[in-house]
Structure 1
Amino acid sequence: MGTMSELVPDDVYQLALDARRQRLSLETLGDGTFRIAADTETGQPGALVHLDCAISLMSPDGRIAEALILVEVDDLWLIAGIHVLPLAPLAASTGYALVGTDRPGARRKFAQVACVSFSRGTRITMATGAQVPIENIAVGDRILTRDDGAQAVRWVGHNTVRATGDFAPIVIAAGTLNNAGELTVSPDHRLFVYQRSDRIGAGQPELLVKARHLVNGDTVQVREGGFVEYFQILFDRHHIIYAEGIAAESMLVDPRTRPALPPELVERLGTLLPGHDRPDRHGLDVQKALLDRPDAIDLLRRASLS
């Protein structure tokens, strides 16, 4: 596998039997470029990474799998490594024919992976206290936020994607985290937990927990297969809102997620978006290692009550 200029349509690629996924951790720089983070499993920490293109691969049974090509460069701007981010699972020893490449759309696809999204049917708490399905929320509607009262919705995003790979939703059963109903969100959607007692040893009461880090195969599951409708709620600032009765973040606009927004919206909100992030939320993310225990979810649920 190489860069877009080296790819040839109809060439066939396949994973080796011993191939395994490794985490390429990236930091997004202010100019929209990426740097490999210190906790990465592959690549050289500190090296720059460029998003080269999106590719479409076809399996022998006609299924299409998309992937992103990321290029790592050294200090001399020479290619040091090629990284492939599959957006759907790829089977080992299966030949995949290259049927398409896309450079302009690659950033949008990469941004969509990082966008926090709720699924159709998720009930959002409005300023009045009413519980409204997210698909019925419109620009200008006022939603209750945890820290800033009622806030007007600036934009509602909507997209339908294959429920596979990094787009497969995380389903949290009713009651698991004191949520009133089943909550279905994108994998990197962060839930806000206020610990009245520090039961998981995070050293702080306020936590942001990625949904993917809670998967236990029972009360929190990955739902693969078919399609999923995702909705994003954008305010003038990043907020914590209430979905199915529990706290969860709204869409955060940063250099990585910005390409997911319509260009006309970015232009219209240009003066607001650079300050969309909130420094008071930095450092609240829970490391996955603290959640790698069978009772982690129960501890979080009880910590928010007692």
Structure 2
Amino acid sequence: CRKLDAIDLTVAPKLRPIRISEGAMGNGLPKRDLELSPQHRVLVSSKIIKRMFKTDEVLVPVKKLVEIEGIDVVDCAIGTTYFHLLFDHHEIVYANGLPSESLYLGPQALKSISAEARNEVVALFPEILDRDFLQVEARPFLERGNTIKRMVMRHAKNHQSFAVERW
């Protein structure tokens, strides 16, 4: 759990949550409005994904999807609290029906949590301190901005849903 007050979010606007409005990903997903931390990845799947990346599903940081109608940065006047789910392995979990990721123990994640939380994670998973530690991704990550922009544009042009089609 990480709490950020209005001052934190004013000083560091890149930490403001991203709201995915009900149905914005297509196929009625998410089932209700959903707010996620900007780096949080959501699972996307479509024929376009398969053609572009030769895989059925990819995980995309939600902040890279704000060009999609119904996905916006939240203007937090009162602050926010982020809750992260940590499992033995990186997992796909559901938030308001939308498939997304559990906490991925990469270098960025460890930098973003409090010292107290980091100490707790290290106590549970001491192997993350190993120099060669790399957690296996639940699905491939799609991170490159230009690639994601092209993917979003192709979906918009073809009126294609981003929601996982088979779930």
1:290 paired residue among 125, 129, 150: 150
Instruction: Extract structure 1 runs of 4+ deviating beyond 4 A.
Output: none
What is the distance in 2 between the residues matched to 1:276 and 1:296? 37
Task: Identify the residue that residue 180 of structure 1 maps to in structure 2.
Answer: 31
What is the distance in 2 between the residues matched to 1:297 and 1:244? 26
Distance apart, 1:285 and its partner CA: 1.0
Task: Identify the residue that residue 170 of structure 1 maps to in structure 2.
Answer: 18
Task: Identify the residue that residue 135 of structure 2 maps to in structure 1.
Answer: 277
Choose 1 or 2 for highest CA Rg.
1
What is the distance in 2 between the residues matched to 1:214 and 1:247? 15
Instruction: Assess if the C-alpha contact under 8 Å between 1:170 and 1:221 holds in 2.
Output: yes
Unpaired segments ≥5 residues, structure 2: none
Q: Secondary structure at the match of 1:202?
A: helix
Per the normalisation by structure 1, the TM-score is 0.42
Instruction: Flag the 1:191–1:303 CA change in 2: closer, same or farther, 3 A.
Output: closer
Distance apart, 1:189 and its partner CA: 1.0
What is the distance in 2 between the residues matched to 1:298 and 1:200? 16
Per the normalisation by structure 2, the TM-score is 0.71
What is the distance in 1 between the residues matched to 2:158 and 2:84? 25
Distance apart, 1:199 and its partner CA: 5.7
Q: Secondary structure at the match of 1:232?
A: coil
Which letter maps to 1:183?
L
What is the distance in 1 between the residues matched to 2:108 and 2:4? 20
Task: Determine which structure has greater relative contact order: mean sequence separation of CA pairs < 8 Å that are 6+ residues apart, divided by chain length.
Answer: 2
User: What fraction of aligned residue pairs are identical, expressed as a percent?
Assistant: 22
Which letter maps to 1:198?
I
Task: Identify the residue that residue 63 of structure 2 maps to in structure 1.
Answer: 212
Task: Identify the residue that residue 299 of structure 1 maps to in structure 2.
Answer: 160
Distance apart, 1:232 and its partner CA: 1.3
Unpaired segments ≥5 residues, structure 1: 1-156
Distance apart, 1:173 and its partner CA: 0.7
Instruction: Assess if the C-alpha contact under 8 Å between 1:213 and 1:288 holds in 2.
Output: yes
Instruction: Flag the 1:218–1:241 CA change in 2: closer, same or farther, 3 A.
Output: same
Which letter maps to 2:149?
A
1:238 paired residue among 80, 90, 106: 90
Return the structure number with greater helix share: 2
What is the distance in 1 between the residues matched to 2:80 and 2:96? 18
Q: Deviations over 1:241-297 (max 9, x none)?
A: 011101101111123322425254144224343556105644x31632324527179
What is the distance in 1 between the residues matched to 2:158 and 2:59? 13
Aligned residues: 148
Instruction: Flag the 1:181–1:199 CA change in 2: closer, same or farther, 3 A.
Output: same
Q: Secondary structure at the match of 2:103?
A: coil
What is the distance in 2 between the residues matched to 1:222 and 1:267? 31
Instruction: Assess if the C-alpha contact under 8 Å between 2:98 and 2:163 holds in 1.
Output: no
What is the distance in 2 between the residues matched to 1:303 and 1:242? 12
Instruction: Assess if the C-alpha contact under 8 Å between 2:58 and 2:139 holds in 1.
Output: no
Instruction: Flag the 1:206–1:272 CA change in 2: closer, same or farther, 3 A.
Output: same
What is the distance in 2 between the residues matched to 1:302 and 1:232? 22
Moved more, 241-250 or 262-271: 262-271
2:40 paired residue among 189, 198, 217: 189
